[in-house]
């Protein structure tokens, strides 16, 4: 249970700590835009053959805009039972801000041969 990408991911997160979030967007990845014009992208880049990976949230991301980015924490979640004997793993990505914590769920659906997560962070701009 760790963030992937090693030095690049660590540096991206450290460079973004304390910055004001002006926009949050969740598509295939989480995009955080900061007041200084930089963006940090958090994505699961561990794609292997025969896997379907995606991110989701039950939180309203716009509520966390105009807050200060404080930290990230990964948490393992229970696997989701699948009626077809496929595997559906979930890992939570808690994003801590000055307005509280929002949670992104990273999903990996696969046939059991592959699995796991490889969450990376990259900064642009």
Per-residue pLDDT of the chain (125 residues; tens, 9 = 90+): 355 557 899 999 999 999 999 999 999 899 999 999 999 999 988 766 777 889 999 999 999 999 999 999 999 887 777 776 678 889 999 999 999 999 999 988 887 766 778 889 999 99
Tell me which residue of 108, 125, 124, 120 sits closest to 49, measured CA to CA.
108
Inter-CA distances, 124 with 22, 32, 74, 80, 119, Å: 15, 10, 22, 34, 17
Domain boundaries, the chain: 7-124
Strand 30-34 relative to strand 20-26, pairing: antiparallel
Tell me which H or E stretch contains 48: none
């Amino acid at each position: 249970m760790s963030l992937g990408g090693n030095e690049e991911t660590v540096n991206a997160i450290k460079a973004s700590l304390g910055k004001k979030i002006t926009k949050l967007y969740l598509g295939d990845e989480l995009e955080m835009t900061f007041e200084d014009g930089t963006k940090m992208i958090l994505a699961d880049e561990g794609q292997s053959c025969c896997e379907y990976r995606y991110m989701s949230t039950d939180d309203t991301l716009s509520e966390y805009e105009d807050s200060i980015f404080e930290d990230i924490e990964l948490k393992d979640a229970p696997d989701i039972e699948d009626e077809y004997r496929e595997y559906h793993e979930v890992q939570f990505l808690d994003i801590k801000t000055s307005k509280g914590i929002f949670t992104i769920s990273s999903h990996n659906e696969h046939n059991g041969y592959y699995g796991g997560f490889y969450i990376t962070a990259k900064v642009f701009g």
